[in-house]
Amino acid sequence: MELYFITHNKSKYLEAEEIGREYSVSIKLFDLEYEEIQDNKLETIALMSCKRVLQEKPELKNKNFFVEDAGLFIKSLNGFPGPYSSYIFKTIGNEGILKLMKGEEDRRSHFKSVIAYHSKNETKIHTGKTEGKISHDIRGEKGFGFDPIFRPDENDITFAEMSLETKNLYSHRQKSLRELLTSIAAFARKKIDGE
Ligand code: ITT
């Protein structure tokens, strides 16, 4: 089957492509920068993004595609930046987050990924969450976004110090993607059994 990932973020796509290979699904990049709505729930943002994509690219209506919205939620900052992660990353970046966390001992945080999958006029949501800690300094050069300041639990290195394959063992994105790919595989099996 053809499965498109609509994103303007190549790093996100490369992570997804690798997971797709494990499921023998070739995920194709559809590079599109669309305007994201602001909302306090990632689920709403992902669903609205899916609608926006269909408005901008009506030719995708009969295709299988997904968009993904992710955010970093910091416990001691009451979940900030959460759904505003993109704007906050662009404005204050990792240095700004570390400044806000200066002197804070509670470093608990999590990443959440929400996929909105469009197929046959239906949109379904898949989610993934990874718990971790905000590091005290910027570490590593791999990955993107908040990767250099996020250490997933049971690890003493940040996402940015990990290879893509290792990040894919722990990340929020691989969890939502595995949920999506498992449900696609189950649907395909049902179809074969029914025929
Ligand atoms: P799209 O084109 O897919 O929307 P994006 O980069 O805007 O790509 P999001 O809105 O999902 O992606 O992500 C919001 C921000 O959260 C993003 O700018 C990153 O800084 C950060 N982020 C999301 N996933 C991340 C990850 O796996 N590692 C580090 N930072 C991440």
131-158: pLDDT as tens digits: 999 999 999 999 999 999 999 999 999 9
Read off the pLDDT of each residue in 25-36 and give the average, rounded to a whole number.
92
Atom of ligand 1 nearest to the CA of 67: 3
Task: Tell me, using a 6 A CB cutoff, whether residue 5 lines ligand 1.
Answer: no
What is the mean predicted confidence (pLDDT) over 26-38?
92
What is the reported pLDDT for 182? 97
In the predicted model, what is the mean pLDDT of the chain?
95
User: Do residues 110 and 131 lie in contact, with contact meaning Cβ atoms separated by under 8 Å?
Assistant: yes
Q: What are the tens digits of pLDDT across the range 53-111?
A: 999 999 999 999 999 999 999 999 999 999 999 999 999 999 999 999 999 999 999 99
**Domain of residue 82, residue span:** 2-193
Q: Tokens 């002197």 — which residue?
A: 103
Q: Is the pLDDT of residue 190 over 80?
A: no
What is the side-by-side strand order in the sheet with 64-74? 27-31, 3-7, 64-74, 108-119, 122-134, 150-152
Quickly count helices (H) and strands (E) in the chain.
6, 6
Ligand 1 atom 17, closest CA: 86
Q: How high is the pLDDT of residue 194? A: 74
The reported pLDDT for the residue numbered 195 is: 61
Q: Is 85 in the pocket of ligand 1 (CB under 6 A)?
A: yes
Confidence of residue 23 (pLDDT cuts 50, 70, 90): very high
Whether 176 is in the pocket of ligand 1, judged by its Cβ within 6 Å, is no
CATH number of the domain that residue 22 is part of: 3.90.950.10
Side-chain-side CA neighbours of 186 within 13 Å: the count stands at 6
**pLDDT (average), residues 110-122:** 96
Question: Counting atoms of ligand 1 from 1, which one is nearest the CA of 33?
Answer: 2
Q: What is the position in ligand 1's atom list of the atom closest to the CA of 8?
A: 2
- Mean pLDDT for the stretch of residues 32-60: 94
Domains: count for the chain = 1
Q: What is the pLDDT of residue 34?
A: 84
Q: How confident is the model at residue 118 (pLDDT cuts 50, 70, 90)?
A: very high
Give the integer Cα–Cα distance in Å for 142 and 167. 10
Residues labelled as active-site residues:
69
